[in-house]
Amino acid sequence: MLCCAQCRVLLTAQTGLTHVRSAAHTVPYARLSEDKYHNVCNELGIRTDYPTSQELDGIEALSGLDIYTMALICGVDGCSMIFASRGAMRKHYDVMHKGVPIPTIWHIVSAQRLDNGSHKTYFRVIEPSYVFRPVLNKDWIDILDIRIDNAMKIDPLFNSDPRYLNALLTKTKWADHVKGHDLDELHSLVRLPGAEEFPLLKETIEWIFEVAMISIDGTPAIILQRLNTKELAP
Ligand SMILES: [Zn+2]
Ligand SMILES: [Zn+2]
């Protein structure tokens, strides 16, 4: 069988090429000719049909597919349907076993499914020994945090060359103005006033700054755009 590493779904010789061509895949398989693809499939003995549920039940976990290590298996005689959540299991009882009391304790198994489309029925698998299981609750939280951070990751704008003149600096010619001056002295001139300087100067400057920040929301967009534009008046 074939497995799409990107979508983590199982594919057959019949569906493989269509799958990588139709979905948004980063690997440029699309240029692969159909004849070549089928020749490779033949050589590797890739199946053209999906395995049946009898073939799948209790097999070693298939590499490349997600593994659900806490799946619930229906305990009603002869049923053995598997679901990944209690909600789904309750729905199953509602439809298939109406009137049968819903158990409070479920049998837990490891399960997989071939895809999320026409082969989404879970089947029981033997879990490989290397399935990662965090030991402490704290680990879960850390992992979750890292995953959230990765999902939300925003690449900061990074300017590798501190001497780079952006459009604003080029326009305002600040670089030309400060050329030849003592930088420490210039820094001291733009530094926030200290508490020991002119009475209330520090507090006043901070107040002006705060009022300016608060006013951003009430300032007309056209003025904000003007302040933010690359085309400042010379
Ligand atoms: Zn895929
Ligand atoms: Zn059932």
CA of 26 to the centre of ligand 1 (A): 9
CA of 190 to the centre of ligand 2 (A): 74
User: How far, in Å, CA of 87 to CA of 106, rounded?
Assistant: 12
Is this prediction's pTM over 0.85? no
Q: In which order are the strands placed within the sheet that holds 59-60?
A: 59-60, 123-126, 107-112, 68-73, 82-83
pLDDT at 134 over 60: no
Ligand nearest to the CA of 82: 2
What was the pLDDT predicted at 111? 93
What was the pLDDT predicted at 157? 54
User: Which residue, among 61, 65, 214, 67, has the nearest Cα to 132 in the 3D structure?
Assistant: 67
User: How far, in Å, CA of 228 to CA of 2, rounded?
Assistant: 53
pLDDT at 232 over 60: no
Q: How confident is the model at residue 169 (pLDDT cuts 50, 70, 90)?
A: confident
CA of 152 to the centre of ligand 1 (A): 23
Ligand nearest to the CA of 19: 1
Q: Which two tokens stand for residue 164?
A: 């780079």
User: How far, in Å, CA of 131 to CA of 151, rounded?
Assistant: 23
pLDDT at 76 over 60: yes
CA of 22 to the centre of ligand 1 (A): 9
